[in-house]
């Protein structure tokens, strides 16, 4: 799978570990930064990953910041992106099955590497369930998007 990944300074260390783990699993990983723990602006990285997903250059996106929330807020401004912050397998499974989330955002303050890898595994392995009601709702989300 083609995965776009990025983090701000608060998520840099976890992102580095996750990037290596994903590559080791055989995924094609494109890292959009940041490259250090020096303070930077998370919307810049959300825009890069969100753009890659929305334009079809990546199958899924992963964003890491301190809480996962700021990255989700920024990424969801991009038409075609459905970013979800999550801390449990159930949240990740449901957001894939029901919302067809294509970007997962993680909070480095709350997750260690092994927990984050498990959430990512669920995110990558869970399919959108489809079905009339979920398709209808995801289409309504797309109608809310403004260029």
User: How is 43-109 classified by DSSP, letter by letter?
Assistant: HHHHHHHHHHHHTTS-SEEEEEESSSHHHHHHHTTSTT--EEE-SSHHHHHHHHHHH---EEEEETT
pLDDT digits (tens, 9 = 90+) for 127-140: 999 999 999 999 99
Q: Are 110 and 87 in contact (CB under 8 A)?
A: yes
From the list 27, 65, 134, 146, the catalytic residue is 65
ω into 42 cis (within 30 of 0): no
Active site (annotated) includes residue 65 = yes
Active site (annotated) includes residue 98 = yes
pTM of whole model > 0.85? yes
Using pLDDT thresholds of 50, 70 and 90, give the confidence band for residue 41. very high
The pLDDT of residue 147 is above 60? no
**146 vs 142, higher pLDDT:** 142
From the list 27, 98, 134, 146, the catalytic residue is 98
SS3 1: coil
pLDDT digits (tens, 9 = 90+) for 69-112: 999 999 999 999 999 999 999 999 999 999 999 999 999 999 99
Going along the chain from its start, the domains and CATH numbers come out as: 2-144 (3.40.1400.10)
φ/ψ of 145, rounded to 5, equals -75, 135
């Amino acid at each position: 799978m083609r995965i776009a990944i990025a983090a701000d300074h608060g998520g840099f260390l976890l992102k580095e570990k996750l990037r290596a783990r994903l590559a080791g699993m055989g995924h094609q990983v494109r890292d959009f930064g940041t490259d250090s723990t020096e303070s930077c602006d998370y919307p810049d990285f959300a825009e890069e990953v969100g753009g890659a997903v929305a334009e079809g250059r990546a199958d899924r996106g992963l964003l890491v910041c301190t809480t996962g929330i700021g990255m989700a807020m920024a990424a969801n401004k991009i038409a075609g992106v459905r970013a979800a912050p999550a801390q449990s397998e159930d949240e990740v499974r449901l957001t894939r099955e029901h919302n067809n989330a294509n970007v997962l955002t993680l909070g480095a303050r709350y997750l260690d590497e092994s927990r984050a890898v498990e959430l990512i595994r669920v995110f990558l392995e869970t399919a959108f369930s489809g079905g009339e009601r979920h398709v209808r709702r995801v289409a309504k989300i797309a109608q809310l998007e403004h260029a």
